[in-house]
Amino acid sequence: MFKKKAFHITAITIIFIALYATSVYAQYNGECWALDYLNAFKISGNKVSRFSGFSQPLSMSINPKDGSVWVADTDAIRIKKLSSAGKELITIDKGFTSQPISVAVDPKDGSCWAATESDLFKFSADGKQIMTKAGFNEPFLMVNPANIECWIADSNKARIVRLSSDGTQLGVYAIEGITQPKSISINPDVGTVWIMDPFTLNVVKISADGKVMKKNDRFHSRWSDNGNEYYSMFRWRLLGISYRRFHQTQSGCSSKNNSRWKTNSYHSRICYALDCML
């Protein structure tokens, strides 16, 4: 009876997360982390753990080597690092002039890139600031775990920036059809990069040196009304794209190794495979 009740509680919690989570993240050991507006959740098998004390966190990044988690606690204007068990290890709340909106872990040394609305920071694994770079406008981050390069979707400047692990600029790319890139993801096996623009509803695949390899605008539906044409995205708003390796089916994300995943929202976020569309 107790096990049955516990299962029902876990199922309800997972459904709640699937409906209201603002972001869902996977870890290579099969665990799944999610953020809502006040909490971080860890889903491992049938167990769901909740960690509170956040204020509108917008981004999370997981170190695949030790399972530690970095969180951009956006409205609180701070970065937090948690252990894989959810214990708070580090809080960084000084030096930011605007809200942190994106984080990305460097798995080689456990350091973390963090972006505010205008600046880029890098912190060591123990929370010491080791780098800062200005000149961005709403940047979103992703680290290629294969070569430790940091890719930046510099949204309001309509460009993609590629940096080495020490911050050296390796490339700046303007891509036709991408006017406000809001999400970026990398296939570490071959170094290709996927970029998403929710305003033009385009998803573009580029090579490691910035050449366009594939462009997809099939996320539009089109209709006419009194001579005016309208476009929508299957009633959803395209919010993100990510390359993940899921080893378990958790929190609404189907398991399929080496597939590409898109994140959509219509009061919720759902994950599903893009293999048939891209």
pLDDT tens across 86-105, in order? 999 999 999 998 999 999 99
Whether 190 is covered by a domain: the verdict is: no
- Structure-token pair, residue 216: 């997809």
pLDDT band at 126 (very low <50, low <70, confident <90, very high): very high
3-state secondary structure the chain: CHHHHHHHHHHHHHHHHHHHCCEEEECCCCCEEEECCCCEEEEECCEEEEECCCCCCCEEEECCCCCCEEEEECCCCEEEEECCCCCEEEEECCCCCCCEEEEEEECCCCEEEEEECCCEEEECCCCCEEEEECCCCCEEEEECCCCCCEEEEEHHHCEEEEECCCCCEEEEECCCCCCCCCEEEECCCCCCEEEEECCCCEEEEECCCCCEEEEECCCCEEEEECCEEEEECCCCEEEEEEEECCCCCECCECCCCCEEEEEEECCCEEEEECCCCC
Worst-scoring range by mean pLDDT, 9-13, 54-58, 103-107, 272-276?
A: 272-276
pLDDT band at 197 (very low <50, low <70, confident <90, very high): confident
Whether 257 is covered by a domain: the verdict is: yes
Whether 224 is covered by a domain: the verdict is: yes
CA distance 260 to 278: 9
Q: With 80 as the cut, is the pLDDT of residue 224 above it? A: no
Tell which wins on pLDDT, 217 or 83: 83
Whether 126 is covered by a domain: the verdict is: no
Whether 127 is covered by a domain: the verdict is: no
What count of Cα atoms within 13 Å lies in the side-chain half-sphere of residue 169? 9
pLDDT at res. 105: 96
Percent over 90 (pLDDT), the chain: 51
Whether 158 is covered by a domain: the verdict is: no
pLDDT at res. 218: 60
Q: What is the number of domains present in the chain?
A: 1
Whether 277 is covered by a domain: the verdict is: yes
Q: With 50 as the cut, is the pLDDT of residue 7 above it? A: no
Q: What is the model's pTM?
A: 0.75
pLDDT at res. 177: 86
The chain-wide mean pLDDT, for the chain, equals: 76
Domain coverage including residue 276: 1-30+218-278
φ, ψ (nearest 5 deg) of residue 217: -120, 25
pLDDT at res. 43: 85
Report how far Cα 242 is from the mean position of its chain's Cα atoms.
7
Whether 68 is covered by a domain: the verdict is: no
In sequence order, the 6+-apart residues with CB closer than 8 A to the CB of 211 are none
